[in-house]
């Protein structure tokens, strides 16, 4: 397991841009975070969702609940631990749960952040999560948003997507390729860690990288 | 409203690649389609979901229900009509509904399609959808996956994302910018049409473009 010290070290690791510029950027400065929509298919969904949120460790995070999704900002290790605990917590109710997870890095979109100029990227470690004991199936997609470059640094989103899928095949989750997505089957923590790994590995060389996954737990059609 | 003849014409419209190559490609050859995860937060979710699927018009579509999401492939007009009818149909039950919608174009990912070489793009019309009478709030993100290019055709994913957001502001939906996503509020049909418009407009010059949205209906926290 990763120690808290290692997480702090990763959060403060100097990052290096494509141009070789070295500087210090934290995950928060880089707009690292997530949006989560948690759906519980039962009449008592409000209680299940609130219980799952209460039981999760939000240390180090900014959490804002919106109309459609909850925004979670902080270091990767903290964000992923929180998502894993919330989603598995809802799954522990026994109800059929669907969770839409969106991890973002580099603030593409309407609300921007002060990331360094020059295509700089962020060096982060892959989060290490405690197994939850809850199984999930996830439909996963990852999007490196690089423009241009040349030589070995030339933008090639398919190369980066395939590298992330290849890495996923080494993590112990069951990987199945499908239209538009890659299906991952395993423990909630293992699946989220695999998704985060692709996102972080690509993020070491691409400033904007996002990944989306829909996780399903306790589906009646799962057998 | 768009006529069926116009839809057929759009499906067969000759597409033009970045290099000016003219050829005929259909939406299906281009891997146009969607994945949908529909979550209904009520004990009778199975009946609500099956009822919504039954009441929707799947003409012209290939629909495959998977463990996590349903894959829908066909021309844009047909795909969007189906999504709008299914999601609004579930919302009409009065239950709190969350729908994860993923529109894809150009087959980025594990299962590829035989799109033309040379970065060719696809010309499609923006779908026109009948209002559903069901209101939704959606968290929306769009990802142009272009590599390289030069001059005015140079890849610039932020330029394309902002153009899609600007277009959204002209459609009559309420647009609110947030971290990682743009919030769209309006009728289910209007919101989906806006999302599809950004995806199709970018797709006229970028071969791979995907968009994700999470739609929420009847949220108890919506007021």
Report pLDDT digits (tens) over B92-129: 999 999 999 999 987 665 566 666 665 567 788 999 99
Report pLDDT digits (tens) over B162-204: 888 889 999 999 999 999 999 999 999 999 999 999 999 988 8
Q: What is the CA radius of gyration of chain B?
A: 17
Q: Stretch A178-191: mean pLDDT, rounded?
A: 96
Report pLDDT digits (tens) over B3-31: 333 333 333 333 434 444 444 567 877 88
Q: How far is B40 from chain A (nearest CA, A)?
A: 6
B chain contacts of residue A102, beta-carbon cutoff 8 Å: 139, 141, 180-181, 212
Residue A124 CA to residue B30 CA, distance in Å, equals 36
Q: How far is A202 from chain B (nearest CA, A)?
A: 14
pLDDT > 90 in chain A, percent: 61
What's the pLDDT at B199?
93
Q: Which of A75-79, A168-172, B102-106, B149-153 has the lowest mean pLDDT?
A: B149-153
Select from B149, B210, B215 the Cβ nearest to the Cβ of A141.
Answer: B210
Which residue blocks in B2-156 are alpha helix, DSSP H? Answer: 4-11, 45-55, 76-91
Residue B3 CA to residue A81 CA, distance in Å, equals 50
* Mean per-residue pLDDT of chain B: 84
- Look at residues B53, B153, B140, B38 and name the one whose alpha carbon lies nearest to residue B97: B38
Largest distance between two CA atoms of chain A: 56
Q: How far is B123 from chain A (nearest CA, A)?
A: 20
Q: How confident is the model at residue A120 (pLDDT cuts 50, 70, 90)?
A: low
The ipTM is 0.86
- 3-state class (DSSP) for residue A89: helix
Structure tokens that stand for A69 in this block: 């999704």
Domain boundaries, chain A: 4-217
Q: How confident is the model at residue B156 (pLDDT cuts 50, 70, 90)?
A: confident
Cβ(B87)–Cβ(B37) below 8 Å = no
B chain contacts of residue A111, beta-carbon cutoff 8 Å: 177-180
Residue A127 CA to residue A80 CA, distance in Å, equals 7
What's the pLDDT at A124?
87
Spatial strand order of the sheet with B97-104 comes to B62-65, B70-73, B33-40, B97-104, B209-217, B135-144, B182-187, B174-177
Counting Cβ atoms within 10 Å, is residue B29 exposed (0-12), middle (13-18) or buried (19+)? middle
**Number of Cβ within a 10 Å radius of residue B11:** 20
The residue of B109, B159, B176, B191 whose CB has the most chain A CBs within 10 angstroms, and thus the best one to mutate to test that interface, is: B109
Structure tokens that stand for A111 in this block: 């609300």
What's the pLDDT at B117?
60
Fold of B4-217: Alpha-Beta Plaits (3.30.70)
Q: How far, in whole angstroms, is CA B21 from its chain's centroid?
A: 26
B chain contacts of residue A35, beta-carbon cutoff 8 Å: 139, 179-181, 214
What's the pLDDT at B21?
42
Cβ–Cβ below 8 Å for B104 and A177:
no
Q: Is the per-residue pLDDT at A223 higher than 70?
A: no
* Mean per-residue pLDDT of chain A: 84
Bridge partners of residue B179, in order along the sequence: A111
């Amino acid at each position: 397991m990763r120690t808290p010290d290692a997480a702090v070290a990763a959060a403060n690791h100097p990052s290096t841009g494509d141009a070789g510029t070295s500087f210090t950027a934290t995950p928060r400065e880089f707009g690292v975070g997530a949006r989560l929509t948690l759906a519980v298919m039962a009449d008592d969904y409000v209680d299940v969702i609130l219980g799952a949120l209460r039981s999760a460790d939000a240390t180090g995070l900014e959490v804002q609940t919106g109309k459609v999704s909850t925004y979670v900002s902080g270091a990767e290790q903290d964000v992923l631990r929180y998502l894993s605990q919330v989603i598995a917590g809802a799954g522990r109710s026994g109800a059929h749960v669907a969770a839409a997870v969106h991890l973002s890095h580099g603030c593409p979109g309407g609300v921007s952040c002060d990331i360094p100029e020059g295509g700089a990227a962020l060096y982060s470690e892959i989060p290490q999560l405690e197994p939850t004991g809850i199984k999930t199936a996830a439909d996963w997609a990852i999007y490196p948003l690089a423009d241009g470059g040349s030589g070995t640094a030339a933008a090639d989103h398919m190369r980066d997507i395939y590298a992330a899928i290849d890495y996923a095949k080494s993590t112990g989750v069951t990987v199945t390729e499908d239209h538009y997505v890659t299906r991952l089957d395993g423990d909630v923590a293992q699946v989220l860690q695999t998704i985060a790994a692709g996102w972080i590995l690509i993020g070491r060389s691409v400033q904007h990288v996002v990944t989306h996954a829909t996780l399903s737990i306790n589906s009646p059609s799962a057998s």
